[in-house]
Amino acid sequence: GEDVEQSLFLSVREGDSSVINCTYTDSSSTYLYWYKQEPGAGLQLLTYIFSNMDMKQDQRLTVLLNKKDKHLSLRIADTQTGDSAIYFCAEVYSSASKIIFGSGTRLSIRP
Amino acid sequence: DTGVSQNPRHKITKRGQNVTFRCDPISEHNRLYWYRQTLGQGPEFLTYFQNEAQLEKSRLLSDRFSAERPKGSFSTLEIQRTEQGDSAMYLCASSAEFSGASSYNEQFFGPGTRLTVL
């Protein structure tokens, strides 16, 4: 079946690293995504990882994929107030098909 | 602005009324997707078009819902006899079509239409 799970809330201190975790069930997923959603704004694709990769780094973002455990994580280094948002983990079979989203993790930053 | 646009941005209606939403995708994109997002949840897939052909529909898309993309450009999503449970954000996304084993076609999302059914 198709299911993506993630914790609902995360609070970190400004300047620390944030790690958002996600588990998924479909081992045939081709791509795994992280989307960001800010209040009143549309969904923004932050980064994605192809299923045959273990890690991807993009500036302050690091994505780790453990295919054996079907676990995906997003690390945001030096977390800033502008990183406050809801972060969605998502999976897709192929780039043409529907995206299966998790329920989102709300990241809040404390001073 | 060359992104995905959706109209209206907000719609308040009374239970039992019909509503129609419009999505204008990025002009060169031939794929168009509709999703629904309720409060505290991630978006859920509703349906998907490639050009004017509707290729997949979710079980969430009851008989009261119909989507069209008559000329392969803009799309409309109509909900008949709205119910309070239809209250949600309706998101549209579009993507281009590239071939190849390692091709990646990002879905670009619009700002959504927020529907409130009273």
State pLDDT tens for residues B35-74.
999 998 999 999 999 999 999 899 888 999 999 999 889 9
> What is the longest distance spanned by two Cα atoms in chain B?
48
Is A24 near chain B, with CB under 8 Å? no
Rounded alpha-carbon distances, angstroms, from residue B97 to A25, A34, A98, B63, B94: 27, 21, 14, 29, 10
Tell me: pLDDT of A52 over 90. Answer: no
CA separation for the pair B95, A37 (Å, rounded)? 19
CA separation for the pair B62, B95 (Å, rounded)? 25
CA separation for the pair B111, B9 (Å, rounded)? 8
Nearest to B111 among A42, A97, A100 (CB): A42
CA separation for the pair A51, A102 (Å, rounded)? 17
Nearest to A95 among B43, B56, B103 (CB): B103
**In chain B, what residues touch A101 (CB-CB under 8 Å)?**
42-44
Do residues B25 and B73 make contact, with C-beta atoms less than 8 angstroms apart? yes
Contact B43 A45 (CB under 8 A): no
Report residue A103: phi and psi, to 5°. -85, -5
Residue B57: CB atoms within 10 Å? 15
Contact B44 A104 (CB under 8 A): no
Contact B43 A43 (CB under 8 A): yes
What are the pLDDT digits (tens) for A9-22?
A: 999 999 999 999 99
Higher pLDDT, B87 or B61: B87
- Interface with chain A: mutation pick from B45, B46, B61, B108, highest number of A CBs within 10 Å: B45
DSSP string, B50-71: ETTEEEEE-TTS-TTEEEE-TT
Tell me: pLDDT of A95 over 70. Answer: no
Contact B40 A95 (CB under 8 A): no
Q: For residue A16, give both structure tokens.
A: 């620390």
